[in-house]
Structure 1
Amino acid sequence: MTLAFLSLSALAPSRLLAASPREITWDDLIPPGVPYSEIIGQGEIDELNDTWVPLFDENATKLNDALNGTLIRMPGYIIPLEFSGDGVTEFILVPYVGACIHVPPPPANQLVLVRTEKAWPSNQLWEAVWVTGTLRTELLSTDLAQIGYTLRSEEIEVYEW
């Protein structure tokens, strides 16, 4: 019986044997017990640029350590950072269109830096996407924002509504 099972499992596609990613939402990136309403303080108006600049408290950099090292799948939008001839190879995954570009950035625990071997086509930058890969809690800064998570992408696909 054991020999028969081993023979069958050798024939099964390796993808079936791999772990399925945990589908998460942006709320999952905030540690349990930290209400989103307590992350953003009063803020101030930047009259020169006609924008609202939120003031984040210390909760903005609190990360959900329970997700560190977890294979996840999550939706979001792409803010490109690095390009190759085939498209975007590094980007910030954000929860809504235009975050970090037209408006002040979300808090660090609402941003994911994604690196991918397979470039995402430049002509699909404004589409919502699903990103699958291993999530890491890693606080870092870029010119655009402070980021709380990194992810090595295994798959990127268009988000189907």
Structure 2
Amino acid sequence: MLNRRAALMLFSGSIVAPKMAFAAQPLEIMWEDLIPPGLPYPEIIGEGEMDEASDMWNPIYDANGEKMNEELNGAYVKLPGFIIPFDTSSEGVTNFMLVPYVGACIHTPPPPANQLVMVDTVKPWPGDELWDPVWVIGTMSTKLQSTTIAEVGYSMVADEIEVYEW
């Protein structure tokens, strides 16, 4: 027979355990998920312009390049990618662009807006790990914005960043 204390502990554990079991798990997505369902990948339709100051070519994409997957607006997600740093300190990077492949926006023309994510994080990512692929976990929003490098279609507040394991 259970005494009062044991019964109370058993009861309180049954209330807390389900909440822990249902803690927010991020939706693991890939870059193709950023394009709205049924829409083809954006195509370069114009010559674009040469940014002589940064020695970069900025292509012109069709209208599909600025269409976002609105189902991801406000979603808690986990997305892999590579870091293009913006705000860097001795502690690491706190603001960066997440890109789908290494060298995007630096050594190659920038991808379309719906293939770029601006990320803010409270906990800096170490500067000595910038070339490593990462998983970024956080809340995503659809928000077209311009940067000095490219038009960006998504933003994310990162709760966690971790090395991507192959």
TM-score, normalising length from structure 2? 0.84
Q: How does 1:104-115 map to 2 (within 5 A)?
A: 104-115=109-120
Quick one: distance in 2 between partners of 1:15 and 1:154? 18
What does the per-residue CA deviation read over 1:115-144, in whole Å, with 9 as the maximum and x for residues that have no partner?
000100000000000000000001100000
What does the per-residue CA deviation read over 1:92-130, in whole Å, with 9 as the maximum and x for residues that have no partner?
000000111111100000000000001000000000000
Partner SS, residue 55 of structure 1: strand
Partner residue of 1:40? 43
Identity of matched residues, %: 54
State yes or no: 1:27 paired with 2:32: yes
Contact 2:45 2:62 in 1 (8 A): no
Partner SS, residue 44 of structure 2: coil
Q: Offset of 1:84 from its aligned partner?
A: 2.4
Unaligned runs of 5+ in 1: none
Unaligned runs of 5+ in 2: 1-6
Q: Offset of 1:7 from its aligned partner?
A: 2.7
Question: Quick one: structure 1 residues 91 and 64, their matched pair in 2 at CA, closer, same or farther if it must change by over 3 Å?
Answer: same
Which one-letter code corresponds to 1:114 in the other structure?
A: V
Contact 1:40 1:54 in 2 (8 A): no
State yes or no: 1:142 paired with 2:155: no
Q: How does 1:7-156 map to 2 (within 5 A)?
A: 7-10=13-16, 12=17, 16-36=21-41, 39-44=42-47, 54-156=59-161
Question: Quick one: structure 1 residues 15 and 104, their matched pair in 2 at CA, closer, same or farther if it must change by over 3 Å?
Answer: farther
Runs of 4 or more, structure 1, over 6 Å off, are 48-52
- Backbone CA RMSD of aligned residues: 2.6
Question: Quick one: structure 1 residues 84 and 53, their matched pair in 2 at CA, closer, same or farther if it must change by over 3 Å?
Answer: closer
